[in-house]
Structure 1
Amino acid sequence: MVVIRLARSGAKKRPFFNMVVADSRNRRDGRFIERIGYYNPVAAANENGLVINAERLAYWQGHGAQLSPTAARLVKQATATKAA
């Protein structure tokens, strides 16, 4: 199954997450198919903490990719801030 989830990177105590499309059998930080965005939980006020390519997200969901619970929460958050 193809899943859209977060892959952790960044330094110790400074997390940074890439939103990736990956096969569910691969490790969290392992091989992925495509990077469709990122999430920076420690972004400064003037930095963009969440970026998602909505076109690629829709493409992968149209082809059966499932969102992980955390990725679904972030997508919902991104669409809410974009609409407001």
Structure 2
Amino acid sequence: MLKLRLTRLGRKKVPFYRIAAMENLSKRDGKAVAYLGTYNPLAEDDKQVVLKEEEILKYLTNGAQPTDTVRSILTKAGVWEKFQETKKK
């Protein structure tokens, strides 16, 4: 089963994350199927989250499950609501 989750980059005390589609049994920073965006928790401007919305929606409709953190990121960006609308149709 695929999961949408964060992989950590950056140096010590300066985290930077990539949103990745990965097998649920793989390691946190293991090999990803696809990279779908980035998340910088230390950024103070709008460039904190960059997402590939079409690819994320494709993986979600095919059954990928987001982690709680990724789901909250997608909710704030409005992607989760688009997915819920397509799911109802």
With structure 1 as the length reference, what TM-score do the two structures score?
Answer: 0.88
1:1-84 paired onto structure 2 within 5 Å = 1-45=1-45, 48-79=47-78
More helix by share: 2
Structure 2 gap segments, 5+ residues each: 80-89
More strand by share: 1
What is the number of equivalent residue pairs in this alignment? 79
With structure 2 as the length reference, what TM-score do the two structures score?
Answer: 0.84
Structure 1 gap segments, 5+ residues each: none
Q: Which runs of 4+ in 1 moved over 4 A?
A: none
Deviations 1:48-75 (A, max 9, x none): 0101111001100111100110000000
Cα distance in structure 2, aligned partners of 1:50 and 1:23: 23
Question: Which secondary structure does the structure 1 equivalent of 2:5 belong to?
Answer: strand
Question: What is the Cα deviation at residue 44 of structure 1?
Answer: 4.0
Identical aligned residues as a percent:
30
Cα distance in structure 2, aligned partners of 1:44 and 1:10: 17
Question: Which secondary structure does the structure 2 equivalent of 1:72 belong to?
Answer: helix
Deviations 1:7-49 (A, max 9, x none): 011010100000000000100111110000000011143x601
Cα distance in structure 2, aligned partners of 1:79 and 1:12: 31
